[in-house]
Amino acid sequence: MLNIDILSRFIENNKLIEKEDRVILGVSGGADSVCLLHTLCKLQKALEIRLFVVHINHGIRGKEASRDENYVKELCNKLDVEFFSVHYNIPKMASMLKISEEEAGRKARYEAFENIATDISKTEGVDISKVKIAIAHNKNDNAETMLHNLSRGSGISGLKGILAKNGRIIRPLLIFTRAEIEEYLNENKIEYMTDSTNLENEYTRNVLRNEVFPILTKYVNSNVINNFYKTSTVAAEADEYFEDSAKKFCEKNLKAEGNRGYTLKRNELIEHPHILGTYIIRYALKELLKEKKLGIKDIGMVHIEDVWQLAHGENGKKLDLKYDIKVYNDYKYLRFVQGGDEKERKSGFPEIRYGVFSNFSMKDIPGDGNIKWLDFDKVLRDIVKYTGESLCINSVVSKDNNLKFIEKNIAVRGYMSGDFIQIKSGKKAVKKLFTDEKIPVSIRKEHIVLTIGSCVVWIFKENKSPDDTVGLDRISELYKVDLYTNKVLKIEVLGDKYERES
């Protein structure tokens, strides 16, 4: 039974509204939203709040939509509540965004609520946190949402249904059924409008409302709506517990890789029970999508399960998900990348400077870093052999020409299939070297190679990762400086990126 006392206690117990809040009500003119407006009007003096009404005209139902808008406007005048009307062309919006009209309508409503909330915050001179958005969802809406989510395979997070409070969005009528709301309106002789599209089964929610739940109520359990609500409160508690546990885990084990995405420690992940593991993966995906201002609504349990199986599978494997998300099993890590880490390099390749000198000491040979020493004569000889051009490699006079010749014929590019490098045991494909050195697949494309044809002179990774996965830094055994070296070819990588990270 809906009465003001029960509503007031629900608002207080769930801390939905605080003193001096400005509350925006979404009022369509239907039973639920009209009930919300009337009941909060009765409570506004006791709660010490101000009410505002927003009506959304979706541009779908023609004269019927205009009728509803006029009704809500007149009702607000009668109740002395400030009224805002916002018009959208939902069919056009759905077509442009390539989403359903149902989803476009939801997007439009919340966009309008947020815009008006911002304006009210400014005109009223209050912090945005003091502006609440009240939606007239009830127990039936909650049950329909739960069943829809369950059908889509959303796991526990979907079974929690609709929350009474989600940030600044509140749902004061969530404790009541649709029948209780209509009973309250009839007893108090309060008129409301009926949206004819609610009677059609064109939308998923309408099918559940008009077909599925009447069958469940008649043939399974007459109290099915209330039972769904009880289940949702238990699921919400469980979901909050696992969400909190996943957050604590990720604070230690999930690391951002600049604009590349995130890395998650794989071994630590798979040590946890399956249920917590799925929440950890979901949290990682949410963080990745949040960077692009996307929600996780279309990432279901089936996708999260796929990532869980990837984590337990073979190293080097990759998984493609929605929103252009790629997840890599990279030995110690799962790497989450959105937007295509395999796209072409945007910043080009680093600048390389070459030099040559004869006076050197073997103890001064540089190790890791942006400078390498190679045997000048051997490099030049192999370039001549590769290009087929003749050059006097021992002439002091032609030193500058020799350096220009080297710069012209040593390619600076990204790693390619077919590249090979000379190691102590012989010639080895770079791809095989990556595998043997356990270099993650997701960062192999970041390597720079200096090559004579397919023969790698030096391979290195331009940027170090935040997780200290630095990749390969290897020069060919063919060109290493030794006791028989006469002249040294100095190769230096220039540019802010490499120097900052080295």
- Binding-site residues from annotation for ATP: 28-33
Distance CA 272, CA 171 (A): 35
Phi–psi pair at 317, nearest 5 degrees: -80, 160
Q: Which residues contact 112 (CB under 8 A, 6 or more apart)?
A: 54, 56, 86, 88
- DSSP letter assigned to residue 317: -
Q: Which amino acid is at 278?
A: T
- Of 31, 2, 29, nearest to 209 by C-alpha is 31
Residue 473 forms beta bridges with which residues?
460
Indicate the Cα dihedral angle 26, 28, 34, 40, nearest 10°.
10
Q: Which residues contact 456 (CB under 8 A, 6 or more apart)?
A: 419, 420, 421, 430, 449, 450, 476
Residues in the chain: 502
Phi–psi pair at 89, nearest 5 degrees: -105, 85
Phi–psi pair at 117, nearest 5 degrees: -60, -40
Quick check: 325 and 334 in contact, CB under 8 A? no
Residues making up the binding site: 28-33
Q: Is 200 exposed, middle or buried (0-12, 13-18, 19+ CB in 10 A)?
A: exposed
DSSP 163-221: -SEETTEE-TTTTS-HHHHHHHHHHTT------GGGGSSSSHHHHIIIIIHHHHHHHT-
Quick check: 127 and 18 in contact, CB under 8 A? no
| Rg of the Cα atoms in the chain | 33
Beta-carbon-side half-sphere exposure of residue 212 (alpha carbons within 13 Å): 17
- Of 376, 358, 374, nearest to 366 by C-alpha is 374
